[in-house]
Amino acid sequence: MGEQSARMSVEGMTCGHCEVAVGRALEGAGALRAEADFRRGEAVFDLPTEVDVEALGRAVREAGYEPGTVERIGRESKLVRKGEGDYDYDLAIVGSGGGAFAAAIRALGLGARVVMVERGTIGGTCVNVGCVPSKTLLKAAETYHRAGRHPFEGIETKAGAVDYGALVAQKDGLVSDLRQEKYADLVDEYGWEFVEGEASFEDEETLRVDERTIRAGAYVVATGARPAVPEVPGLEEVGYMTSTTSMEQDRLPGSVLVIGAGYVGLEQGQLLSRLGSRVTVMQRGTKLLPNQEPEVSEAVREGLEREGIGVLTGVRVERAEKAQDGKKRLHLTVEGEERVLEAEEILVATGRKPNVEELGLERAGVELDERGAVRVDDSLRTTNPKVWAVGDVTLGPQYVYVAAHEGAMAVDNALSGEGKTLDFSALPGVMFTDPQVATVGLTEARARAKGREVEASVLPLKAVPRALVNRDTLGVVKLVAEKGTGCLLGAHVAAENAGEVIYAATLAVRFGLTVSDLADGFAPYLTMSEGLKLAAQTFRRDVSKLSCCAA
């Protein structure tokens, strides 16, 4: 018994539900590992030689879809392209973060010869200066904050002094351990070559690392990004912190002005505020978190202001200067009015800038886009067909799990010719403020802009039993669904542990579940995830008139 890869065109698929139905129909008729894609209008699967192709078509038709012809695509797409030219390696990777490591591990699994080049510290942004250090300090700040204020009567707690230097040192220890265990040790475990040095392209298919030249069949650029600094007159002379350097200080600043109110600015601002700094965050636009649902944005703003954090919107930073007492001063225009603010420190959190300057990309024929990021198509190929780019250097969604997904996908495309493309329609994101914000899929406004007819439910957290017993009802659960079908298009949560809740909604969006599917399923009582079920029930009834756990 043998098998061969095959592809069938399928008409009539419109959502994830359809993909599941077509896949099940094909496998029921004898196909193996069937995967349908409603956007491409096709299904791919492994076809055993003894399976009747006409039976596959009948199965798909009986499932309610129109099958096309079956194309046998062979097995060559599963194999690494080796030996095409005089190369030292099948794959050369520039960078050593999450995307780079995912690429190396996938390539080793395909039997490729791999070299990785890193000019600085192994591990990239996430473990060194991003997710890991920031979230452990955020948890420390939350612990301190809860000790000083909580909603429960009869319990006395108090918060003592903060030794910020000790916190930073503990954070550094965690970072060092994870960098060793999750990155450095894996190089030896898998056995690819690791080269330290500055990598730069000499031409379209040659990389120079210091005095050494490297030729590879394919290249993956995964050099990440760094904090971007706006061109504000006087800012360089006055001095400032970034999200990186603020986590390296040995003392806590007494007051901080935060330029930028995206997820980095808000997380870092709340962290510093909870540990004792007086903080003001500034947003250039007229709305805080403009890409979020308005109900979510309002919940976050209320949470920040309750804790004494100043929130300014409609801000233009005109210039910076030193005050006579040594403090740092910002001259602002706030909604058309001039203002001057002073603080001990300025924290810049205005986005990130790709690390591309030393790569010699112009010599490799690799173009940058208008933001200075590496230009890639939806398969992650650059304008040089031998070079691929992944992670923050492309300024796509800046999450380490996106970089890792892209690293593996780029290798599949570069070495196996699989032709995979990016699909962020069910990409979750989390902002670790309090309340936490977690989202997946379309907002109501974006869905309407795409021409979708939608309906939405907005469930205040005071309707969620978990929030009531926590005595913290600030927040909201909002679901966006397609009108008529009820297919879930987006979920947006501002609540404690929102990041733990969003995975269920991610699966629902990815696989085309409806709000009825969510409403009719089981949700464990007294968990925040029950908010998804209650928000889904809100589409068809008033949940305030239900008893606890009522279906």
Which residues are the active-site residues? 13, 15, 18, 65, 126, 131, 548-549
CA distance 83 to 85: 6
CB contact set of 357 (below 8 Å; sequence gap of 6+)? none
CA distance 71 to 31: 13
CA distance 112 to 91: 7
Q: Tokens 């200075």 sit at which residue?
A: 372
Handedness of CA 405, 190, 178, 116 (dihedral sign): negative
DSSP E strands, 210-365: 212-214, 216-221, 225-227, 241-242, 255-259, 278-282, 310-312, 315-322, 328-334, 337-343, 345-348, 352-354
3 membership: H or E segment, kind and range: strand 3-11
Token reading at 180: 């060793």
CB contact set of 259 (below 8 Å; sequence gap of 6+)? 230, 232, 265, 282, 317, 330, 346, 347, 348, 349, 350
CA distance 22 to 18: 6
The CB density around residue 236, as the number of other CB atoms within 10 Å, is 11
CA distance 454 to 363: 48
CA distance 263 to 422: 23
